Structure 1
Amino acid sequence: MSLWHLRTAGMFVAMTGILVALGSVIGYAFDRMWTGLYIMLGISILVSFASYFFSKSMALSANKVRIVTREEEPRLYGIVERLAMKANLPMPEVGISEVNMPNAFATGRNPKNAAVVATRPILSLLSDEELEGVLAHELSHVKNRDILVMSTASALASIVSFISRMAVWSAVLSDNRNPYGLVIAIVADLTLPFAAMLVQLGISRNREFLADESGAKLTGKPMALARALQALETGCSSRTNKYDNPSGANMWITNPYGKKKGIGLATLFRTHPSTEERVERLMKLDEKLNGVRHFY
């Protein structure tokens, strides 16, 4: 198991701890701690199943994706097909998104149910080698089952936020005699959703690093992906970019809102690692794979 997999596992343990804490708060506030724990366990299972079965259709619909054939998009389809064979993956569906920015994403609950999507602008922006690097990154998400990982993490974070807010209103309207119930519910509402969001974003950044590494190893050309990431960040920073779905930002290969400044604690709120850090890691990988010396 790689370092990236261990980190993700640790983050899901943290998310589980947050859910258990929220269940305990609900139970204590209403003098039924075990009931609260059982409720959160049941909700977590239901959310995980919903994410498993519906994440693909929701992602395709939200981003105006049309599934295409080899005849319609020979360049895009051909690159995906070659990479899928090289990665020993089933051929995924190939889609074109009409979102007006250069970007790409993958979706689907498992390799047999996957789709790889590119926007129109990315096809005109990148060279074949750079586009191959991007699509190898997305196929690595498929192989690593990152789509399932991220959709589950996102759903669980949303559930924590919703239930904690409902707990406050329930405590306000309840005739429960526990004098600390409302106070505990308010404290939980102020802290647990925030903690769940940080865990979710941490998982997202972690899986991007893993897909960068896996995709670059698949093509053997880490610097092609590095150049693509820099070009995509510049393209997404353009004033013509009208992307308006913040909740879906983490699914794209690069931040759809372009370059985001931030240091220290501000980096904890990013959906993606900084492009500078990703490029630096790819340079180091290029040195390891190809013996090319980079200065950074």
Structure 2
Amino acid sequence: LLAGLTGVLLAIGALLDAGTGSNTFLMIMLVVSLGMNFVSYFYSDRIAVRMARAEPVDPVRHRDIVMMVERLAAKAREPMPKLYVSPSPQLNAFATGRNPRNAAVVVNQGLYDALTAEELEGVLGHELQHVYNRDILIGSVAAGIGTMITYLAFALRWIPFLGSSEDGPNPLVALLASIIAPIVALVIQTSITRSRESLADHTGAELTGNPLALASALAKLEAGANDPRRLRAGGTPAETNQAMQHLYIAAPFGGRAASKLFASHPPIPERIAALEEQARRMGQLGPDQRSGLS
């Protein structure tokens, strides 16, 4: 899937080269794709944290976050990521970074204020498993390439108005590429995130030993995302950037795609139902018992 995103960039170059008899644009897109992969690999965590306006956790004010992550990281026998708190009032959190030794977990202040200790631990377990499953590297690179494709597509829309020449790109092809490329990139990017969210739910609940706590947190996240007061409060650049929304545990502002094909996350009711089934297998719910969360 990640190769598919890079392929979209190269396809833009190939389309622009159509009829020109050269590979100039193809080579440009190859360089751009390699550059974006390099930047995303080494700097995605810093970029995401900055866009979330996050600051390192206060070890006194947020002592519970530090202790929870220390305990869970030790249980998983994995490194402890850097911890940050974003001033955003939205109920959300995300993880980023290229590997477990270079990762960060960001918790929104709104989430911290709204959840119980068990629910918060459930969310932290989910985010840690994204790090330990190496999901964050894939997602961060996808976000970087997706953002570049979006900006390139916007630039391509101006080519038809700049005229054309025998040696220049075909204006019609450029316009077509500007429309198709972002759609294909979005489909690939959301496929990546949906394929990993359910796994992070499952393995995160295994790590904490409490699937219902994560299910309860997800129910609160869904309610908070549709709260008019929180919607009016807005969010950070990270939350409003379409290419970065997949990093969060739930789609910011309750984003609902017209089709599952474009959804960055599985529907929360489905995620809750899966966690309830996991709780049954762990003996925390009876065979026909429901949590009342979905």
Mark yes or no: TM-score above 0.5. Answer: yes
Aligned positions, number: 282
Distance in structure 1 (CA, Å) of the matches to 2:71 and 2:20: 58
What does the per-residue CA deviation read over 1:206-226, in whole Å, with 9 as the maximum and x for residues that have no partner?
A: 222221122112122212111
Which position in structure 1 is the counterpart of 2:234? 243
- Cα distance, 1:119 vs. partner? 2.1
Please report how far the alpha carbon of residue 201 of structure 1 lies from its aligned counterpart in structure 2 after TM superposition: 1.9
Aligned partner of 1:101: which letter?
Q
Partner of 2:12: 22
Distance 2:234 2:190 in 1: 19
Question: 1:145 & 1:85 partners in 2: Cα distance?
Answer: 18
* 1:118 aligned partner: 107
Runs of 4+ in 1 over 4 A off after TM superposition: none
Given that 1:106 and 1:138 are in contact with CA atoms closer than 8 Å, whether structure 2 keeps it comes out as yes
For structure 1, which segment, 48-57 or 169-178, has the greater mean C-alpha deviation from structure 2 after superposition?
169-178
Matches within 5 A, 1:89-100: 89-100=78-89
5 Å-filtered alignment, 1:188-267, equals 188-241=177-230, 242-244=233-235, 245-247=239-241, 248-258=244-254, 260=255, 266-267=259-260
Q: Which residue of structure 2 aligns with residue 5 of structure 1?
A: none
Aligned to 2:96: 107
Matching residue within 128, 131, 145 for 1:156: 145
Q: Which moved more, 1:168-177 or 1:58-67?
A: 168-177
The answer to whether the aligner puts 1:128 opposite 2:117 as a matched pair is: yes
Report 1:165-176 matches (<5 A): 165-170=154-159, 172-173=161-162, 175-176=164-165
Tell me: CA distance 1:146–1:287, structure 2 relative to 1, closer, same or farther (3 Å). same
Q: Pairwise CA RMSD of aligned residues?
A: 2.5
Residues 245-279 of structure 1 show CA distances to partners (whole Å, capped at 9, x for unaligned) of 42143222112213x556xx523332222111111
- Compute the displacement of 1:117 (Å): 2.0
Aligned to 1:275: 268
User: Is the 1:98–1:119 contact (alpha carbons within 8 Å) kept by the matching residues of 2?
Assistant: yes
Name the amino acid aligned to 2:18. Y
How far the C-alpha of 1:27 sits from its partner, in A, is: 1.7
The answer to whether the aligner puts 1:70 opposite 2:59 as a matched pair is yes
Out of 213-222 and 157-166, give the one that drifted further: 157-166
The verdict on how the C-alpha distance between 1:29 and 1:190 changes in structure 2, with shifts beyond 3 A counting, is farther
Report the AA paired with residue 66 of structure 2.
Y
Counterpart position of 2:278: 285
Paired residues of 1:56 and 1:107 also in contact (CA < 8 A): yes
Shift in Å at residue 283 of structure 1? 2.1
Q: TM (normalized to structure 1)?
A: 0.85
Query: 1:84 matched to which residue of 2?
Result: 73
Kept in 1, the 8 Å contact 2:256–2:263? The answer is no
Contact 1:216 1:225 in 2 (8 A): yes
> Aligned partners of 1:146 and 1:24: how far apart in 2?
30
Alignment partners' CA distance in 1, 2:210 and 2:125: 10
Secondary structure of the residue aligned to 1:253 is: coil
Residues in 1 aligned to 2:116 and 2:152: alpha-carbon distance in whole angstroms: 47
In structure 2, give the amino acid aligned to 1:41.
L
Amino acid at match of 1:18: V
Alpha-carbon distance in 2 for matches of 1:145, 1:87: 14
Moved more, 245-254 or 72-81: 245-254
* Structure 2: segments with no counterpart, 5+ residues: none
Percent of residue pairs identical: 36
- Give 1:46 deviation, angstroms: 0.3
- CA–CA separation in structure 1 for the residues paired with 2:259 and 2:156: 29
2-structure distance, mates of 1:233, 1:217: 22
Question: In 2, Cα distance between the equivalents of 1:29 and 1:82?
Answer: 60
